A = this chain, B = another copy of it.
Amino acid sequence: MRDLGELKERVRAFCAERDWDRFHNPKNLAMALSVEASELVELFQWLTEEQSAKLDEKQRGRVAEELADVLWFLVRISDRLGIDLLEAADTKLSQNAKKYPADLVRGDPRKYNEY
């Protein structure tokens, strides 16, 4: 897979072949994305923070699958809405740089919590 653009095209073709476009409005896709995000959370819910940073290969493979599912719906919803993900990320990084000046929020989870 070369880049997000290629992924977008492949996801689009995948859905077209299955006639899923009519289910894929932004509302439904947002729901599906959040369900995939929770399947990711489920893998970590009974692990300690330390354990979550030391996954074995099997666990890491399951996490990779859930990350792929989230990305799948992220690409799909942005395609349906004509939103460029990298451009949105670029804008957001600039906003966050202003909102969270490094000198003020360094090492402070409370400020970060207000994200």
**A41-B34, A65-B92 given; A49·B52 CB < 8 A:** no
Q: A104 to chain B: closest CB distance in Å?
A: 9
Residues on A facing B (Cβ under 8 Å): 1-4, 7, 10-11, 14, 17-20, 22-23, 25-28, 30-35, 37-50, 52-53, 55, 60, 63-65, 67-72, 74, 77-78, 80-81, 83, 85-93, 96-97, 100, 102, 105-107, 109-110, 112-113, 115
> Main SS of chain A's interface residues?
helix
Residues of B within 8 A of A88 (CB): 64-65, 67-68, 71
Query: B92 contacts A14, CB within 8 Å?
Result: no
A87 to B65, alpha carbons, bound, how many Å?
10
